Amino acid sequence: MASLDEQLQETLRREEDLRKRIDERNAKRRIECASCDGAHPIRRLVAIQTHWYVEPHGCTGGDYWREGELQYICPETGVINRLLFNNDDVPWGERRDFANDPEAQFKRNYRRLFKEVRDSHGPLSEPWVNNFYVDRHRKEFGLVEKRR
Ligand SMILES: [Zn+2]
């Protein structure tokens, strides 16, 4: 019988292996494009993480940047697809909870799987389209599903 420490090491190794396999599976998941006829595997896409500026406020609050939406560049057309989520089904006060936030869940589990992630602190580049594919396929991506 292996010692407790050895069992823990083995469990951690197993967990790491499973996480790696989940990432490999997720990286192959496709997003149907809103600017071409294709469905692109996430691992082949260049993503853009947007940030927006928040002005100084009150007497103690300094200015800062907040993370905005995630986008990708269609490899066929070069058009930016904004990956948008519709949270209308969740009451206002509960939207910031990670458990109710499919966008935050998508970023945590998928953003690092894109081929590359660029940070943008500027205005939205043209041309762009809205893309709700991930939002409409939350279950497939393992995200919280809409109430109803
Ligand atoms: Zn495309």
- Given a contact cutoff of 8 angstroms between Cβ atoms, the answer to whether 45 and 133 are in contact is no
The pTM of the full predicted model, rounded to 2 decimals, is 0.89
pLDDT tens track for 6-18: 999 999 999 999 9
Residue 112: band (very low, low, confident or very high) from pLDDT cuts 50, 70, 90: very high
Q: What average pLDDT score do residues 89-105 get?
A: 88
Domain that holds residue 54: 30-136
Q: What average pLDDT score do residues 50-61 get?
A: 85
Residue 148 belongs to some domain of the structure: no
- When computed from its CA atoms, the radius of gyration of the chain, rounded to whole angstroms, is 19
Residue 144 belongs to some domain of the structure: no
Total structural domains within the chain: 1
Ligand 1 midpoint to CA 108 (Å): 23
Give the closest residue to 36 by CA, choosing from 91, 86, 61, 73.
Answer: 73
Residue 35 belongs to some domain of the structure: yes
Ligand 1 midpoint to CA 33 (Å): 4
pLDDT tens track for 113-133: 999 999 999 988 899 999 999
pLDDT of res. 148:
59
Ligand 1 midpoint to CA 75 (Å): 6
Ligand 1 midpoint to CA 81 (Å): 8
Residue 142 belongs to some domain of the structure: no
Ligand 1 midpoint to CA 67 (Å): 24
Residue 119 belongs to some domain of the structure: yes
Burial of residue 36 (CB within 10 Å: 0-12, 13-18, 19+) is: middle
Residue 83 belongs to some domain of the structure: yes
